[in-house]
Structure 1
Amino acid sequence: MRHWTPMAVVYLVLAMAGLVGTWAFNVLAITQMVDFIGDLVGSGPAVSSITIDLLIAAIAGSIFIIVEARRIGMRHGWLYVVASGVTAFAFMFPLFLAMRQRHLTRLSTETQPRA
């Protein structure tokens, strides 16, 4: 498991929890033919508050993904943002963080002199 630091593994576990957790409810909403968007904004102030909270966090995280991927030389960072539209940001953001950690670990091992 080359370049998998403990922090990268933690991010990967969070990504999997985000994928399973969100898609369990997505499948439930689809099978019950629920108005997904309507529920997000019309189910009361608490749901609307959480929706806005997560939406702003996802926008900020998406900007971070694109900027950080470019800064450290990760190719195709924008794909994490696009893919979050069909999976879940709760999956893609920790997945990006895991891949970022691996990338940084790889870069640091490449720059260290070999004995």
Structure 2
Amino acid sequence: MTRHWTPLAVVYLVLAIAGLIGTWTYNVIAIVERRDFIGDLVSSGPSVSSITTDLLVVAVAGSILIVVEARRLGMRFAWLYIVGAAFTAFAFTFPLFLAMRQRRLTALRADGPAVGTPTTL
């Protein structure tokens, strides 16, 4: 069996872990301080609103990419990355998806092209 953890997949996995730790550090602070998380996002001024909008658009585009790529590569349960983002953070689930995508690409290359699989991965 081939080793599927390429350096790129490891980079994506490290980013996923950093995204999880980074976002949940602030989430825990918000919970401990009993902050209104959604209210803070929309009422803390134009700078916070701008970055929130920026990240929301990226999350939507990333979610579309997850669905399209997962279908193209035959990866099952891609919707879990999107749903999981609501419980963890998109900064965790998107790089995690990219790591799993890279592993899938490596596995497909190692196994050779199958029927119906794109030959240019």
Determine the C-alpha separation between the residues in 1 that align with 2:29 and 2:79.
Answer: 29
**Deviation of the 1:2 alpha carbon:** 2.0
Determine the C-alpha separation between the residues in 2 that align with 1:88 and 1:2.
Answer: 28
Q: In the alignment, is residue 59 of structure 1 matched against residue 60 of structure 2?
A: yes
* Equivalence for 1:6: 7
* Equivalence for 1:46: 47
* Equivalence for 1:22: 23
* Equivalence for 2:89: 88
Deviations 1:2-34 (A, max 9, x none): 200000000000000000000000000000000
Letter in 1 for 2:22: G
Query: Runs of 5+ in structure 1 lacking a partner?
Result: none
Deviations 1:68-104 (A, max 9, x none): 1001110111110011110000000000000000000
* Equivalence for 1:101: 102
Query: Runs of 5+ in structure 2 lacking a partner?
Result: 114-121
**Deviation of the 1:46 alpha carbon:** 0.2
Deviating beyond 6 angstroms after TM superposition, the runs of 4 or more aligned structure 1 residues are: none
Letter in 2 for 1:12: L
Determine the C-alpha separation between the residues in 2 that align with 1:35 and 1:82.
Answer: 22
* Equivalence for 2:33: 32
Identity %, equivalent residues: 69
Determine the C-alpha separation between the residues in 1 that align with 2:49 and 2:34.
Answer: 20
Determine the C-alpha separation between the residues in 1 that align with 2:86 and 2:68.
Answer: 18
The residue matched to 2:88 in structure 1 has which SS?
coil
